[in-house]
A and B are shown apart, each in its own frame.
Chain A
Amino acid sequence: MLRDDRFARAGLLAIALVLVGLYLFPLYWMYVTALKTGTEISAWPPRFWPETPDVAVVEVWERLRMGTFLWNSLIIALGTTAVVVLLGTGCGYALARVRGLWMDVALFLILMMQVLPSSLMITPIFVAFSQFGLLEYPRLSVILAQVAKLLPFYVVLVRATFLQVPRELEEAALVDGNSRLGAFLKINVPLARNGILVAAVLIMLQALGEYVYSRSLIQERAFQPATVGLQSFMGPNTSDWQGVMTYAAIYVTPILLFFVLLQRQIVSGLTSGALK
């Protein structure tokens, strides 16, 4: 009986590994293709392992000036995350603490803002930003537009975290003579620190991959992020697949490392926020 059970579990594990392998195959294919030269890339049948691995990291990095693109991506992502965390943390806290009709209305409005697609909001944002002169500061424009898109998601995630912080601790701090702000900063924020961190990481990862706003609001190449750079490099009829995949690999490897390190927290943060 026990023996059977162990066999069944091993079988299930084997199937699970196959499923994960099949699903993650595109990621594997990205890395393998990045290591292939032109002849191996156009080989038929396709080769699943590069026979003469060729690392083009340095060449692609310099030829496509990836340093500039990635630097812009980083500035935009960090700027977006900073504004989102500064504005959104307090809002998530207040929405978790106070109950009432107005708070329900506020939460409803915030939820509605979350679903507005960037590709549809970009038309009015572009026209308004150009009329008010904001396009003079292209990266700032993208940051502001992205904050508007991601702030609601962050508020919802952080609110779920603050709901789990017991009220009694904060009340005790208030009785001890702390101000509301003091109690919020000294009691609530430290206790919710993990949830805040995960939510901030999720926001930053999204901001790192943003495309529509950057493509439409930034005209000058020197200010464009890595997504826009990749798109203009690919073009409609690219044949330099080694270059494209090397670019993609350089770009997403840090993101994937982040994900592997924080996998458990990201999964639980995501599930708690998305359903409440």
Chain B
Amino acid sequence: MTSSRSSFRDGRGFDRLLVGLTLGFLLVFSAFPLVYNLIMSFQEVDLFTLGSFDRPWVGLENYADVTGHRVFGLIATNTAIFVAVSVAAQLVIGFALALFFQQSFPGATWLRGLFLAGWIMPGLVVGAVWSFILSGDFGVLNWGLMTLGITDGRVFWLSSPDTALYAVIIANVWLGVPFNMILLSVGLSAIPEDVYEAAELDGAGRVRRFLTITLPLMRAQIGAVLSLGIIFTLQQFDLFAALTQGGPANGSNVLQYWSWELSFTDYRIGQGSAVSVLMILLVVLVAVVYVRSTRHEHVA
């Protein structure tokens, strides 16, 4: 008691207490569910065994059932496409916008900030608005595409298995662009102006300056945006719920949505846990790579 009180007075105990409160909460409500998830993925968990603490162990059966399921290949491919296309499009569009708003004109910073209005919106509302924009019969996107002559007829974005995934991707890119743009803008404004001036004196054109100065100096920033983009994209759930519910015929289903479906609509909770464990491993792996790379930047 005396020792803890003296350490409280000299300060270390105070700091430990403050960090301990948060870590304690996270231990109970994040770390424990993680472990419990892992345990359940090796058990048979359904409506009958839900309340029991003594469930039958099934070894790797849940994992085998899930990966051997006839839709697993489709859903895994969808997940890869969803992440790759979303992240790439967000990066390219976000980078282009960041470069544009880096130029000096009145109101540039304020106008750039307006883009975050999209990021602040609840995912479910964004999904609702896009599901009307994407609607096949009187959707304004179809009208735009047909007026510009890009498509001949109406595209039934949400109800056709070939386009449903891309419909969700469009909405997801819209949500993700502002975040990419703001983070890349921060990196761009950190590049000293005189580097460009020197290159201009040496006769380097715009494209050359972009390729030899901007891209290399933005490497860390692009890495950060890519990893955060992958993490956020793997967290996306609301847009699937609002736009397609993973359908039609799993055409737009992804692993994070499937995991929820297995647990909450099929009540095959053990299998939902198995998918969840696999996905969490993936997300944590990306996060570790990201955190390690930022650490190196700080040391350097």
- A contacts, CB < 8 Å to B: 8-10, 12-13, 15-17, 19-20, 23-24, 26-27, 29-30, 33, 41-46, 87-88, 90-91, 93-95, 97-98, 103, 106, 108-128, 130-131, 144-145, 147-149, 151-152, 155, 179-181, 184, 205, 208-212, 215-216, 227, 230-231, 234, 236, 241, 244-245, 248, 251-252, 255-256, 259-260, 263-264, 266-267, 270-271, 274-275
Contact = CB atoms under 8 A, between A and B. Distances in A.
Nearest to B279: A120
The 10 A-B residue pairs with the shortest CB-CB distance, nearest first, are A209-B122, A90-B18, A148-B29, A91-B22, A124-B33, A124-B37, A12-B105, A119-B237, A117-B235, A94-B15
Interface stretch (B79-87, B129-137, B207-215): B129-137
Interface string B278-290: 0110011011100
B36 A128 contact: yes
Of the four ranges (under 10, 10 to 19, 20 to 34, 35 or more), the interface on chain B belongs to 35 or more
12 contacts: A16-B108, A87-B22, A110-B26, A115-B235, A116-B283, A117-B256, A121-B34, A126-B263, A131-B50, A212-B260, A227-B238, A270-B179
A108 B291 contact: yes
B164 interface: no
Contacts of B273: 123-124
User: Binding site of A, secondary structure by majority: helix, strand, loop or mixed?
Assistant: helix
Contact of B115 (A23, A112, A256, A264): A23
Nearest to A229: B124
Nearest to A174: B11
Given A115-B231, A209-B124, A90 B140 contact: no
Given A19-B97, A93-B18, A275-B183, A44 B122 contact: no
Contacts of A180: 8-9, 11, 14
A148 B26 contact: yes
Contact of A128 (B33, B105, B182, B259): B33
B182 A255 contact: no
Contacts of B8: 180
Q: Which of B8, B110, B241, B288 is most buried by chain A, counting CB atoms within 10 A of its CB?
A: B241
B299 interface: no
A149 B30 CA distance: 8
A131 B45 CA distance: 13
B264 interface: yes
A274 B21 contact: no
B196 interface: no
B114 interface: yes
Interface of B: 8-9, 11-12, 14-19, 21-23, 25-26, 29-34, 36-37, 40, 45, 50-51, 53, 97, 100-101, 103-108, 110-111, 113-118, 120-126, 128-133, 137-138, 140, 143, 147, 174, 177, 179, 182-183, 186, 224, 228, 231, 234-235, 237-238, 241-242, 245, 256-257, 259-260, 263-264, 269, 272-273, 276, 279-280, 283-284, 286-288, 291, 294
Contacts of A111: 287, 291
